[in-house]
Homo-oligomer: A and B are copies of this chain.
């Protein structure tokens, strides 16, 4: 009846996604405190910084200081994001702290490609070919492929499964040509357009064409369907999800400031645990980290579970 996995891996993106969109400035020490609180929950992957142009994303001007300041915890992989050679160079300076992997990024929507990646799909193919070479020279031949706006776009409208598959086809052909072995494909609902059936259709199409690929879902809860979309992913046997503590995040280029961000990590963990799926995360500790995030940001964050509270206290009392 279902392909529910027995265990999932969550990549916590709250620090990276959350701190980039907040008007800030958020103190470097607060960023470090939240990351250390998150690693203490049992999360096995945390994206801790973005090595990007501080003129474009001022919230990450202190990326190096944050990475240098955290207390690495055994069993937790710390990852970072970058989009160009300069960013890669900065990340390489933290080889001993960060789990570095080369990645290829495309957008399924032309309009989002132009707005978020600064070039259209054809130009992005050229640019990514160059970036692959840069990564390979650094010994980081890309193993990951990310597809942004995989389900729809605030600027370009609907994204059909066929359109997403065509962009993925180009990306996979580029990977093959350049000798990259893609192991993990991230399908990102960057602006909250997905619904459960769309998740099923796109995941199904990818599986049918590239059965060897691990699929990861990056979901936003912009319009309230985020956790239902995660459920659809679980039903399809997806075992890798991105999420952000307290529902931090949202894309600075997505055109809806103030809209809810990524699916809340604690809601995803709660969904999984209630359905008997392991995450390795201590939910009560994660809710405490969400409370810390809310104190740091200084306004109510979107997570319902953060405000509704855990069931464990009621179960203990019963």
Q: Report A231 CB to chain B, min CB distance, Å.
A: 4
Distance of A146 Cα from B231 Cα, bound (Å) = 27
- Does A198 make an interface contact (CB < 8 A)? yes
Is B158 a contact partner of A318 (Cβ separation < 8 A)? yes
Distance of A155 Cα from B264 Cα, bound (Å) = 26
Distance of A297 Cα from B152 Cα, bound (Å) = 33
Tell me the count of chain A residues lying within 8 A, CB to CB, of chain B.
50
Asked if A304 meets B224 with Cβ closer than 8 Å, knowing A157-B317, A315-B157, the reply is yes
Is B196 a contact partner of A157 (Cβ separation < 8 A)? no
Is A224 a contact partner of B274 (Cβ separation < 8 A)? no
Distance of A179 Cα from B267 Cα, bound (Å) = 44
Distance of A232 Cα from B2 Cα, bound (Å) = 12
Asked if A275 meets B315 with Cβ closer than 8 Å, knowing A227-B228, A270-B223, the reply is no
The 5 closest A-B pairs by CB, nearest first: A157-B318, A224-B267, A195-B274, A222-B308, A224-B304
11 extra interchain contacts, Cβ-Cβ under 8 A, other than A156-B318, A224-B303? A157-B314, A158-B318, A196-B231, A196-B271, A197-B276, A223-B304, A224-B264, A224-B270, A224-B305, A228-B271, A260-B304
- Does A256 make an interface contact (CB < 8 A)? yes
Is B274 a contact partner of A158 (Cβ separation < 8 A)? no
Nearest-neighbor residue (CB-CB) of A193 within chain B: B311
Nearest-neighbor residue (CB-CB) of A157 within chain B: B318
Distance of A154 Cα from B315 Cα, bound (Å) = 8
- Does A12 make an interface contact (CB < 8 A)? no
- Does A286 make an interface contact (CB < 8 A)? no
- Does A292 make an interface contact (CB < 8 A)? no
Q: Which residues of B contact A154 (CB under 8 A)?
A: 314
Is B224 a contact partner of A311 (Cβ separation < 8 A)? no
- A-B contacts, 26 of them at CB < 8 A, read A155-B314, A156-B318, A157-B318, A195-B275, A196-B275, A197-B274, A222-B308, A223-B267, A223-B270, A223-B308, A223-B310, A224-B264, A224-B266, A224-B303, A224-B304, A224-B305, A225-B270, A227-B228, A228-B271, A231-B231, A256-B309, A259-B304, A259-B309, A260-B304, A260-B307, A260-B308
Q: Which residues of B contact A222 (CB under 8 A)?
A: 304, 308
Nearest-neighbor residue (CB-CB) of A267 within chain B: B224
Nearest-neighbor residue (CB-CB) of A309 within chain B: B256
- Does A300 make an interface contact (CB < 8 A)? yes
Q: Report A107 CB to chain B, min CB distance, Å.
A: 15
Query: Which residues of chain A (242-300) have a CB below 8 Å from chain B?
Result: 256, 258-260, 264, 266-267, 270-271, 274-276, 300
Q: Which residues of B contact A225 (CB under 8 A)?
A: 227, 267, 270-271, 274
Query: Which residues of chain A (97-146) have a CB below 8 Å from chain B?
Result: none
- Does A15 make an interface contact (CB < 8 A)? no
- Does A59 make an interface contact (CB < 8 A)? no
Nearest-neighbor residue (CB-CB) of A276 within chain B: B197
Distance of A221 Cα from B227 Cα, bound (Å) = 11
